[in-house]
Amino acid sequence: MEERISESLAREYGIEIERIERFRHLWKVYAKKGVYVVKAFPNAVSLVYWQTYLFNELRKKGFSQFSQILRGQHGYPWFGVKSYPLVVMPYLEGETARYSKLDHLEKVVRVLANFHHHAAWIGTEVKPKYRELRTYRLFRRLQEFEQLYQNLMVKKERDALDDEILIIGQEMIDFGKETFQYIDQYKINRINQDAIDYRFVAHRDVANHNFLLGEKVWMIDFDLSGYEAQVMDLWQLINRVMVDWNWDLDIFLKVEEDYSYYRKLTDDERMILRQLSLYPNEFFRESLGAYYRPNKYKKDHVLPYIQRFRLKFDCYYSFREKILRA
């Protein structure tokens, strides 16, 4: 594959290669003039066109904190074959953001808000793939965790993660069910429909590894991006931040206000953010991932994450008690 990439970059892009090496799920290309990454999009050439179009639209609007997909000499944003397209982008130098560091968090919130501010009223020449709205996943994820919990209860030989989940799993199930008593589904549906109608783009995967802190704060991996209520990105971010900060309500309020400084939140968005924060999404996501997506969620990484919910349960419980009144 490396030889094929080298030949294509020289022929299609005029890039003189010095060496190529595997880099996570990508290839890192060292050239005489610069460093690049090559990424494969198996059976997803439409996704390549969507991202290329989105990036061009964002640049027109004044947002450019991402790596641009390069076009070859024939004008295509990919090379290879249509069933296995590859794209080339300049390599972005930077440190992976850490949400446990306040200065990192402030920079991530700022760039996310600016992205949302510019990612509205996107043109219609290319449209994203329809993806299930994140709010629709909540009930299904609760059901899946309930089934996992039942399976662990009858499991004969348990490991440390099994035991941790069983200790507070029932409380988390109860919290999940309770959340649906508070969620205003009508308002969530309306905000999501507005996002679709007015073409507001959400990133949909705001894990810390998708933000790089270097000369600028870079956003990467727009593979899941599409039309959806942008407040869902903020909710996803806050979910992860709260675990790192032991469910400190002051951090929640700071993230919310820092974001709103750059992209104003409506009263409905603030309310939805609080209602959804009652749901133990991170506990369910990590637990289910360890058993059903072990290639991505390693048990030895998930275990301390789940342990934090037990060890800081009082903090988590207090946060849930206060958040709707905050």
Model confidence pLDDT, tens digit, residues 131-165: 888 888 999 999 999 999 999 999 999 999 999 99
pLDDT tens per residue, range 36-84? 999 999 989 999 999 999 999 999 999 999 999 999 988 999 999 889 9
- CATH for 23: 3.30.200.20
pLDDT tens per residue, range 252-264? 999 999 999 999 9
Buried b (16+ CB within 10 A) or exposed e, 218-245: bbbbbbbbbbbbbbbbbbbbbbbbbbbb
Q: Is 21 helix (H, G, I), strand (E, B) or coil?
A: strand
Kindly state whether residues 87 and 114 are assigned to the same domain. Answer: no
What sign for the dihedral angle of Cα 285, 290, 291, 292? positive
Per-residue confidence (pLDDT) for residue 90, from 0 to 100:
96
Kindly state whether residues 51 and 120 are assigned to the same domain. Answer: no
Q: Is residue 153 assigned to a domain?
A: yes
Q: Is residue 117 assigned to a domain?
A: yes
Nearest-angstrom CA–CA distance, 166 and 162: 6
Determine contact, residues 323/275, Cβ cutoff 8 Å: no
- CATH for 137: 3.90.1200.10
Per-residue confidence (pLDDT) for residue 18, from 0 to 100:
93
Kindly state whether residues 145 and 227 are assigned to the same domain. Answer: yes
Q: Look up the pTM and report it.
A: 0.95
What tokens appear for 19 in the block? 């060496």
DSSP for residue 150: H
**Full residue range of the structural domain in which residue 86 is found:** 2-91
Please measure the distance between the N-terminal and C-terminal CA atoms of the chain and give it in whole angstroms.
Answer: 54
Q: How confident is the model at residue 4 (pLDDT cuts 50, 70, 90)?
A: confident
Kindly state whether residues 300 and 205 are assigned to the same domain. Answer: yes
